[in-house]
Each structure stands twice: as structure tokens, then as C-alpha cells.
Amino acid sequence: MLEIGCGWGDLLGAVKPSAGVGVDFSPAMIEAARGRHGELQFVEGDAHEFDLAGQTFDAIILSDLINDLWDVQRVLERVRAYCHARTRVILNFYSHLWEKPLALAQKVGMASRPLAQNWLTPPDVANLLSLAGFQTMRHWEEVLCPMGIPGLAPLCNRWLVKMWPWRFAALTNFMIARPEGMTVMGEGAPKVSVIVPARNEAGNIAAIFNRTPELGSGTELIFVEGHSGDDTLGEIERQAAANPHRACRILRQSGKGKGDAVRLGFAEAQGDILMILDADLTVAPEDLPRFFDAISEGKGEFINGVRLVYPMERRAMRLLNLAGNKFFSFTFSWLLGQRVKDSLCGTKVMWREDYRKLAAGRDYFGDFDPFGDFDLLFGASKMNLKIVDLPIRYRQRTYGATNIHRWRHGWLLLKMSCFAASRLKFV
């Protein structure tokens, strides 16, 4: 981790990076930082000119810095030289609306007088980031009451500042950005694992074998059979024998629900890229190459299928289900801080490396998602992965019946949304 304008190094020390570097132009600050945080490295240098000999960092912090800089774009361009494809740049800066209140507080001795400030709006900063080769991922506000008034400060700073219209009066803006134009692919094309949760889907198995394309340097089909009442398991075994050219694995889940099946399939997968394909074939296997292109070309790190853009086939989705999907898409976009138009589409794609980190931190949200969609979306948001919506055409089921119960599962989704708010939004 790298912090530009590190001062005494207390913020960098509090994050406890495995390796941390702080840069500051003040020799006195650097000397103090070395004494306070001997486990970290501190370098004296101007933010516009510093040289770290080609190192790259997982995260780069610019905290309360860009308000003071002479040339923000130049510093951001300098920062990009120390990024790799997965680097996150984290910025916080004062809101333009607080220019006059802070000036008044300085006059009456309630605040120290800073350098001449750049009073930048979030669109200003997003534009400067874009000019320097970054893509803004998230923006949010913090601190509505900067004074420690009992009762009022916690109400304002934990709750009201996250809500309309009070968030527009916040003191501080936060942004997270990532470098554009960099891909995470190493040498050679990545391998792909397509996880197919299958319960009572015997009539669709042959089509899955025949229609799922080979992607990257190879594709393995992982069927996770979930206590079917029909002959789904037998049909998978017959089709696997009839298609020896297809890499195929067959698993049987011990638990229940699609979420349990997805977690089992992901844990057993050997591919670099993990994909979910619902066995009902309401999302066509022929659409999977577009998901592969989006993630392998670095357009996103979590690719989320969207059924609500193109017209659907007749009876593909009932009216109440459609209304529920739209409600939860709005809710989850607000919760995650990134646009998610369709939270319930079954087709989701991510890197196996990211899934392993997500699974390791699953205790933060708990294991309560029977669908698997929200476990992945919540985890991706917590890890600050770039979520990209990819529109697909949603098709009518041609075999079997849906496993979704609209009222019971809708109530569960609402409870999950409230829980996620306490973990992601009102922290």
C-alpha cells in the first residue's frame, strides 16, 4: 500500500498493510513517521515528482491531499505509474459547500488555517481521474456533523449522511477509482469453469452439453445436482459419457438451494474464470463468450447478467416478478454504490482468485443466502470489485417449473437487503 501525503504515517499504520510506503514533502514529517511506524517505509518527496523505482501497489491513498495540490492531474498521472491492473486508488476531499463554514470556523479559532484550497466537486475529481487514465468506481459522502455533539453526531454521521437529501450537505467526499486500459490476464488465455446448478432439469442437460461453447484455453462443465425428483443425475451421467470430448465433472450437493450448489461448484472449479449457467436455459449458453470477453479484457471484475434491457419472450417472467426485480435492482444499486440493474439474474462471472478472497471473508455477511446471487454481489462490493452489467435476452423456460417462490423468497430478499444495509451502508 502507498500513501501520498502521509504526514506522521498514522493512517498508513492503522491500515496495517503487509508492505507500506508513505511519501511526504516535509523532512520533519518523514522523520517523525519513521519514529512512530518503524515497520513501514517512508520517502521524502513532492507528490508531483516522487520516484519509487517502478514499484506497483494494491492500493494507493490520497487522504485530504488533492485540496492542497498545485496540479491534481499531474499527481494522478504520476500515481498511475505505480498501479497494476487491480490497483485501487482511494481519495477523500472536502466538499465545496463547506468552504464558507470552514472559513468562519477558522476566523473564530475553531479550525486551523490550511493552505489555499482547491474546492473540487465530485464531478471535477471524476473528470481529473478520467484524464489521468482512471475509472471512478464508487463515490459516497461522510461526516455531516464534524463536532462531537452527543446523540446528534452519531445520528448525523452514521445514518443521515447516507440518505437523501442530507448527504448533499456532507463535509467529506470519498472516491474509489481503478486504472483503465490494463488487463489482469497473464501469459496465455485463461481456463474457464462453467458451474451448472441443476435440480429437476433432465430435459435441458443435452442442450447444455451441445450448446455451451469452448472458451479461453479450455472449458470445464461442472454440474451440481440438487436432490432432483426427476432423472437429472442419470441424464447428466449419460450425456457426459456421450460427450467424452467435453471436460465434465458431476457433483451432488449435500445441502439445499442454488447458493449451496454454486458454492460447492466454485470451490471445486479448476478454471481461472468462474461462470454460473442456470440449467433452465433461460439465459442462452451462446451468450457466455460475451461474459468471457468482458472479464478477460478488463472491462470489469464481476460481470452481472441483466435480463431487464431487451424485450423478454412471452411468459419468461411474470409481472410481479418483474416488479420485484426492478425494486431490488434499485435497492442494491444504492447499497453497493455501483449500478446493478438486475440483482437476480443467475448468470454471474468472476475470477477464481477473487472468489477465494470473497469466500475467506464470507463471515462478514454470514451464510444466509439460498440463491447465491447476493453472497457474490455483497462480497464483490466489499472487495471493491468493478461490477459491470451485461445485457442478455431472457428466454422462456421450455422444460420443468421454476424453483422460485415469489412471496416467501421476496420476503427473504427484503430481510437480506436490510441486513446488507447494516454491513455496507450504515457502518
CATH no. for residue 94? 3.40.50.150
- For residues 143 and 94, membership in a common domain is answered with yes
Same domain, 174 and 216: no
Q: Could you tell me what percentage of the chain is helix, strand and coil, using 3-state DSSP and rounding each to the nearest 5?
A: 40, 20, 40
How much is the pLDDT for 402? 60
Residue 185 forms part of a structural domain: no
Let me know whether 311 and 363 are in one domain: yes
Q: Do 62 and 140 belong together in one domain? A: yes
Instruction: Assess if residue 278 is contained within a domain.
Output: yes
Asked whether residue 247 falls in the same domain as residue 124, the answer is no
How far from 57 is each of 10, 61, 83, 350, 351, CA to CA, in Å? 19, 10, 6, 22, 20
How is the beta sheet containing 57-63 ordered, strand by strand? 41-44, 21-24, 2-4, 57-63, 83-94, 172-179, 134-142
Q: Report which of 402, 223, 224 is spatially closest to residue 321, judged by C-alpha positions.
A: 402
Single residue among 179, 213, 239 that ends a domain in this structure: 179
Q: φ, ψ for residue 334 (rounded to 5)?
A: -70, -45
* Kind and range of the H or E run holding 42: strand 41-44
Query: Rounded to whole angstroms, what are the CA distances from 320 to 22, 102, 395, 410?
Result: 53, 50, 17, 10
Provide the CA 48 distance to its chain's centre, in angstroms. Answer: 30
Clarify whether residues 110 and 49 are in a common domain: yes
Look at residue 316 and tell me if it is in a domain: yes
* Backbone φ/ψ region at 161: left (φ over 0), alpha (ψ -120 to 50), beta: alpha
Task: Describe the crossing of helices 319-336 and 373-382 by its angle, rounded to 10 degrees.
Answer: 20
Domain-ending residue, one of 149, 179, 209: 179
Q: Name 379's Cβ contacts closer than 8 Å, sequence gap at least 6.
A: 358, 359, 361, 362, 365
Amino acid 289: pLDDT: 97
In the Cβ-directed half-sphere of 174, how many Cα atoms lie within 13 Å? 13
pLDDT at 108: 83
Locate 106 and state its grid cell: 477558522
Please indicate, yes or no, if residue 385 is contained in any of the structural domains.
yes
Length of the chain: 427
Same domain, 166 and 196: no
184 inside domain: no
Rounded Cα distance between 314 and 427, Å, is: 42
**What is the rounded CA–CA span in Å between residue 279 and residue 259?**
14
pLDDT at 400 (0 to 100)? 63
223 and 166 in a common domain? no
Number of structural domains, the chain? 2
Helix residue ranges per DSSP H, 109-180: 122-131, 152-154
Residues 374 and 279 grouped into a single domain: yes
Residues 373 and 265 both lie in one domain: yes
Residue 186 lies in a domain: no
Residues 167 and 244 in one domain: no
In this structure, the answer to whether residues 168 and 278 fall within a common structural domain is no
Q: What is the pTM of this model?
A: 0.87
- The residue ranges of DSSP E strands in 95-181, in sequence order, are 134-142, 172-179
**Which pLDDT value is given to residue 257?**
87
For the purposes of burial, counting CB atoms within 10 Å of the CB of 79, is it exposed (0-12), middle (13-18) or buried (19 or more)?
A: buried
* Average pLDDT per block of 10 residues along the chain, 427 residues long: 97 97 97 97 96 95 95 97 96 90 80 77 96 96 93 95 94 96 78 96 96 96 95 96 97 91 96 96 95 94 91 66 73 86 88 95 76 85 94 79 61 78 86
The residue range of the domain holding 167 is 2-179
